[in-house]
Amino acid sequence: MRRALFPIFLVAALLISSHQGVIFEKNVTQAQVVERLVAKASLDLLKRVHQGRGDTKLRLLIEPSTQWNNKLESKIKALGGTNIRQYSHFPVRVVTLPAAAALALSTRKDISFISLDREVRTLGHVSLTTGADIVRTSGGPGGNGLDGTGIGIAVLDSGIDTGHKSFLDRDGNNRVLVSLDFTGENRTDDPYGHGTHVASIAAGNGRIARSAYIGIAPNANIVNLRVLNSQGVGSTSGVLAALDWVASNHATHNIRIVNLSLGMAAVESYRNDPICRAVRRLVDAGLIVMAAAGNNGKDSDGNKVYGHIHSPGNEPSAITIGATNTLGTDGRGDDQIATFSSRGPTRSHWTDEAGVTHYDNLIKPDLVAPGNRIIDAEAVDNLLVTQNPELDAGISDIDSRKMMYLNGTSMATPVAAGAVALMLQANSTLTPNLVKTLLMYTAQPLAGFNMFEQGTGQLNIEAAVRLAGRVRTNLTAQTPLGAPLLTTSDLPASQTTIAGYTFSWSRGIILNHTYLTGSDLIAKYQRIYGRGILLMDGVVNSSGVITSDLTMVSEGIVPGDQILTSDGVITGDGIPFLSVYALFGDPAELEEGDLLGDGVITGDGVITGDGVITGDLVMQAQSATIKGDETTSMALAPDDGNDSLDY
């Protein structure tokens, strides 16, 4: 009977071997295919044996062909099986057994199948919809996953509950390297509850609820600089002291990213604002500063308003992040700008000797990221949850594993900060302007929203990291304009597929009052990518005519002359919304109260209504309204109390 069946096995082997890309790895032989058909073992078990790892002990699931019996259990023990677990309602056994012994056992008639006890995990909604899961599981150079290892993120916020499980590494060590207080309260924990949530969005691990709420860069290091007090407010001087500490100590802890999920009314021009000036110094030194746009996108009556980008989000060198509402779905086809997300242009200003007010009128934010109803780490006994119990997501009853909801550009900003950590892990030589360019160039333009609402579009981590890994690592200040930017002459297709939805990249960048488009932005080195330079230095405004500065950018890059409402394809396509000349021109051309198609510009960073900043120069967390935008939430993933280490 066995001889009669062998030709059938051989034919099956030949058929299956012609589809190696689907079932087997490319180097699997026909003999191994036959072995697979006879052995009744999973492919990953076979692979370990064929790689010479037969002595490796594995945790395995063994399923009998009929019922479990004492003879079979005795055989497993004789082969070295230990730590046997059984179930009340299922015949399968979980056993620790050497790989080769398991493969031999799988040839028995009373065995149905043997497979590895693989860890089951739920990919997080935010990490999935942004493309971070693709990068973490397979997106690094050579196919190795990226998780932010070795990159330091300074979180200037309300403190961090370092006892939360989200901040451990795989070996159980705490990744919060430093904790300092700049509020005068002499504590570095998080009684307010904002900073812990922010830090875990950027770099929380996947231990809780099978990675359902994993951070974007789950193994990055965190530096906890507490600048907001127990009520979630702080001072300019406190933030400056923290930024000053970063300037002195960033090399010691490899701090490459500063996350500012906070802000105050942007009254003074970025040229004079002390925090903006401090941010510029850090960026010039090579750090990437992420800043929240603010949460004043609508007034107290729910009307859309423009002109409420907060400081330091109004600083040109910062990467300013607005918020999207994913509507609780992983697919990106239905994503929208969150109604609370602050819109440009920036209305910080300066007054000349004649008493004439000059507004900065920068296009901000630079891009947007998910920021509505984000679930992440909850600090123990924090004020936000105490005052608003509905913010607790009900994930766990254990203090160190609790999760909470928050809304705001505060939540969107660390999503982007985590993305930058992955980019820098892929290519540590990237300058701040190159990071900013790659983020904007690969973003997804959201149809129906203008540049004052979304910049170039929604964060696309998969593409930004992929491009980062292809940028030459030998670029210097002496690299000539127009030299190849990438290590390959073949430009990647400018599309990404995430969660089954394919979209186009923006293929453009925002720079202050206009934008640039063209494939040369990634094909050729541009001098605006260097340190100590602003992206805006690539354009010239001469007598109201905007042209490219060909000493800073190559000839194939084109500036735009209209602020557009996107059609969802690329930057430069869409419906004209406002001429860029209004941003350059006489201040009378864009006065307070002017209609901008679907809303109005309101005054000097001052807006009335609950939960907003009123220009009192107090630094405050950008944690939007408690309610956020209405949406259908994704199904919650409860925590079983067991740590998942598959991140």
Look up tokens 């689907």; give the residue.
Answer: 22
> Does the bond joining 7 to the residue before it have cis omega, within 30 degrees of 0?
no
Pair of tokens at residue 482 = 């127009």
Pair of tokens at residue 605 = 């960073």
Question: Do 130 and 270 sit in the same domain of this protein?
Answer: yes
Question: Do 145 and 289 sit in the same domain of this protein?
Answer: yes
Order of all β-strands in the sheet with 82-86: 82-86, 93-98, 57-64, 111-116
Length of the chain as a residue count:
647
Look up tokens 């002359």; give the residue.
Answer: 561
CA 419/CA 406 separation, integer angstroms: 20
The answer to whether residue 583 is domain-embedded is no
Q: Tell me which range, 7-16, 88-97, 360-369, 612-621, is most confidently predicted by mean pLDDT.
A: 360-369
In this structure, which amino acid lies at residue 616?
Answer: D
Question: Do 63 and 150 sit in the same domain of this protein?
Answer: no
- pLDDT for 31 equals 52
Query: What are 424-459's pLDDT values in tens digits?
Result: 999 999 999 999 999 999 999 999 999 999 999 999
- pLDDT for 519 equals 95
The answer to whether residue 584 is domain-embedded is no
594-625 burial, b if ≥16 CB within 10 A, otherwise e? eebeebbbbebbbbeeeebbeeeeebbbbbbb
The answer to whether residue 573 is domain-embedded is no
Last residue of a domain, one of 95, 116, 137: 116
Q: What is the mean pLDDT of residues 73-94?
A: 80
CA 227/CA 237 separation, integer angstroms: 9
Here the CATH number for the domain that contains residue 191 is 3.40.50.200
The answer to whether residue 506 is domain-embedded is no
**324: closest CA among 629, 5, 14?**
629
CA 510/CA 518 separation, integer angstroms: 12
Query: What are 371-381's pLDDT values in tens digits?
Result: 998 999 999 99
Q: What is the mean pLDDT of residues 243-262?
A: 96
- pLDDT for 543 equals 61
DSSP class per residue in 68-102 = --HHHHHHHHHTT-EEEEE-SS---EEEEEEHHHH
Question: Do 342 and 457 sit in the same domain of this protein?
Answer: yes
Question: Do 139 and 44 sit in the same domain of this protein?
Answer: no
DSSP class per residue in 566-577 = --SS-TT-SEEE
Question: Do 191 and 103 sit in the same domain of this protein?
Answer: no
The answer to whether residue 522 is domain-embedded is no
DSSP count for the chain of H helices, then E strands: 17, 30
- Is the pLDDT at 292 greater than 90? The verdict is yes
DSSP class per residue in 362-403 = ----SEEEE-SSEEEE--TT-HHHHH-GGGB--S-SSGGG-E
DSSP class per residue in 270-282 = TTT-HHHHHHHHH
CB 412 within 8 A of CB 259: no
297-308 burial, b if ≥16 CB within 10 A, otherwise e? bbbeeeebbbbb
Here the CATH number for the domain that contains residue 111 is 3.30.70.80
Question: Do 452 and 382 sit in the same domain of this protein?
Answer: yes
The answer to whether residue 556 is domain-embedded is no
Question: Do 31 and 167 sit in the same domain of this protein?
Answer: no
Question: Do 67 and 204 sit in the same domain of this protein?
Answer: no
The answer to whether residue 224 is domain-embedded is yes
The answer to whether residue 421 is domain-embedded is yes
Q: How confident is the prediction for the chain on average, in pLDDT?
A: 84
CA 233/CA 383 separation, integer angstroms: 13
Residue 570: which pLDDT band, with cuts at 50, 70 and 90?
A: very high
| Three-state SS letters, 439-464 | HHHCCECCCCCEHHHHCCCECCHHHH
Query: What are 312-326's pLDDT values in tens digits?
Result: 999 999 999 999 999
Question: Do 291 and 436 sit in the same domain of this protein?
Answer: yes
CA 372/CA 324 separation, integer angstroms: 7
In this structure, which amino acid lies at residue 497?
Answer: T
- Is the pLDDT at 494 greater than 90? The verdict is yes
Domain range enclosing 46: 2-116
> How many structural domains are present in the chain?
2
Question: Do 105 and 203 sit in the same domain of this protein?
Answer: no
Query: What are 159-210's pLDDT values in tens digits?
Result: 999 999 999 998 999 999 999 999 999 999 999 999 999 999 999 998 999 8
Q: To the nearest whole percent, how much of the chain has pLDDT over 90?
A: 52
Last residue of a domain, one of 116, 145, 174: 116
Residue 530: which pLDDT band, with cuts at 50, 70 and 90?
A: very high
Q: At what angle do helices 2-17 and 30-39 cross, to 10 degrees?
A: 120
Q: What is the mean pLDDT of residues 125-139?
A: 83
pTM of the model: 0.81
- Is the pLDDT at 16 greater than 50? The verdict is no
Residue 475: which pLDDT band, with cuts at 50, 70 and 90?
A: very high
Question: Do 103 and 155 sit in the same domain of this protein?
Answer: no
